[in-house]
Amino acid sequence: MKQLKRFEFSAGGVVVDGDRKNKKVLMIKAKNLVGEIVWTLPKGHVEKNENATSTAIREVREETGYRCEITGVLDTVQYWFRFGGKLTKKTVKWFLMKPDSLKQCNKPDAIEVGWFSRQEALAHCVYESDKKLILSVFNNKRRKHPVQY
């Protein structure tokens, strides 16, 4: 039996505010593909005529309500999942971001949005890839910006 495969490309942002001692990360509460409500990092699909950076900025604004700017490149994460009988390979490009202001510019699409300390964010995470990204931000590990995609 032939396996149906799909490929998806997304981009997202790890939004950080505060100094070294008071650093907070922005997370969203959203419904995942199996209908569970989880805390995660904002990301979304790259749309036609978009690149990864414009997707990350748009998705963070839509999901969190915050207008943000990219300050660095974090990582590219790849994983497989099965949905609707199809095996899907997803590639996500992650960027380090900071908010333009701490006032939301629009109503977020997410169920809930929250700013969390390192310990709080890690306690909320259900995905290992999110935990690794959050740890990299709090440990100041990132690639230099800009990188073209």
Global pTM reads 0.87
Q: What pLDDT does residue 4 have?
A: 63
Q: What pLDDT does residue 3 have?
A: 63
Whether 147 is in a domain gets the answer no
Whether 124 is in a domain gets the answer yes
Whether 149 is in a domain gets the answer no
Whether 63 is in a domain gets the answer yes
Whether 25 is in a domain gets the answer yes
Residue 26 CA to residue 97 CA, distance in Å, equals: 10
Per-residue pLDDT band at 124 (split at 50, 70, 90):
very high
Whether 146 is in a domain gets the answer no
Looking at residue 56, which CATH number applies to its domain?
A: 3.90.79.10
Task: With CA atoms as reference, report the closest residue to 149 among 6, 10, 5.
Answer: 10
Structure tokens at 56: 């990350």
Whether 64 is in a domain gets the answer yes
Domain membership of residue 66 as a residue range: 5-138
Q: Between 106 and 61, where is the model more confident?
A: 61
Per-residue pLDDT band at 101 (split at 50, 70, 90):
confident
Q: Decide: 91 and 76 in contact? Cβ < 8 Å.
A: yes
Q: Decide: 12 and 95 in contact? Cβ < 8 Å.
A: yes
Per-residue pLDDT band at 102 (split at 50, 70, 90):
confident
How many domains does one find in the chain?
A: 1
For the segment 82-102, the average pLDDT, to the nearest whole number, is 89
Whether 48 is in a domain gets the answer yes
- The CA–CA distances, whole Å, from 29 to 13, 41, 53 equal 15, 9, 22
Q: How far is CA 23 from the centre of its chain?
A: 17
List the end-to-end C-alpha distance of the chain, in Å, as a whole number.
Answer: 36
- Residue carrying the six token digits 């740890």: 135
Residue type, 135: L
Residue 45 CA to residue 9 CA, distance in Å, equals: 6
Residue 98 CA to residue 105 CA, distance in Å, equals: 14
